[in-house]
Amino acid sequence: MNSQEQLQLESERKFLKQQLESLPPTAVLTRSSAESRMKIVEAFLASQPRQPKPMKAVLTFRGRPVVGSHGMFAEFGSRAANAFTEAVVTVGAALLGPLAPTGPLPNREQCQLLITNTAIGSFGFEFEEHRLGQLPFSEETPVSRALEITRGLLESSAQGTDDELAECASGISPRSIEAVRGFVQALATNEAVCTLVFGKQRFGFQDVGEVRKSLDRLSQDNLHETETKLFGEFQGVLPKGRTFEFRVAEAEVVRGKIGVEIDNPEEINRHLHQPVEITVLETRVGMGKPRYQLLKLPTWR
């Protein structure tokens, strides 16, 4: 049962419940039929794992282009909404497969957001992930993961340490980081700040100064990503978590993430403690410690 079928059955159950409550005592046959159908629907829903509801997010703005809770300048609103959705879509597409530096985004249709309403209280937008039909059951979708990564990049670049930003940026494609920076650039150019809320997560820039700080720290001059080689031995791999431990020279153990280009990370566990050279993407922010992402499976002797 996909999410659309679940919604249809839940709507039918609601309708049947209302019908039973409104039926007069004399409608014996109609009541019997409705009760029979209600039992079938409830039994089927109870037997199926529940499809998570589409992820929703609220993005609100303050600053020069916003007129209280009445509205905002249309030019800024359209640019900010487009830059935010482009950031989420780009991050989500990178989670599903490798991204080229330029060109069309693969898997774009799986990471779309809908604008479903304007935010109440302070002006902004309500977003909801657009789910295609026949989705598999999952507790976490590409959109929900992309929203969390986007929030993490915004928060760590504005308020976190170099190590916290490096940890968040590690494993994220440079194109995705640049897309998030594009959204921050739209805020900074217009002297605006935003607050992002989804699920139990919340982040908001305190002032335009934090926006400019985020913009600077997400720049390529501060956030360095370099492809490099490490020589040593794998100590262990968590295929589902897509993380690894690797012992390099002088008994130092580094931990890292496994790139989406690698389809079978469990293969590494067959070659633990064997000397090997690996290719990794090293992410470093400022003077912080480097973080690593494994880019491809090595060739063992």
Pairing of strands 291-294, 253-258: parallel
- CATH architecture entry for 224-294: Beta Barrel (2.40)
Instruction: Provide the pLDDT for residue 261.
Output: 86
Each residue's pLDDT tens digit, 32-58: 888 899 898 888 877 776 666 788 999
Each residue's pLDDT tens digit, 275-299: 999 999 999 998 788 999 999 999 8
| Model confidence at 223: pLDDT above 50 | yes
pTM: 0.77
The whole-number average pLDDT for the span 127-152 is: 79
Q: How confident is the model at residue 151 (pLDDT cuts 50, 70, 90)?
A: very high
Distance CA 157, CA 81 (A): 20
Q: How confident is the model at residue 134 (pLDDT cuts 50, 70, 90)?
A: very low
Asked if 183 and 87 count as a contact pair (C-beta separation under 8 A), the reply is: yes
Instruction: Provide the pLDDT for residue 239.
Output: 86
| Model confidence at 133: pLDDT above 60 | no
Structure tokens at 166: 């490096």
Q: How far is CA 195 from CA 121, 148, 149, in A?
A: 12, 14, 15
Find the range with the poorest average confidence among 39-53, 127-141, 208-222, 238-252: 127-141
Instruction: Provide the pLDDT for residue 130.
Output: 87
The whole-number average pLDDT for the span 194-209 is: 94
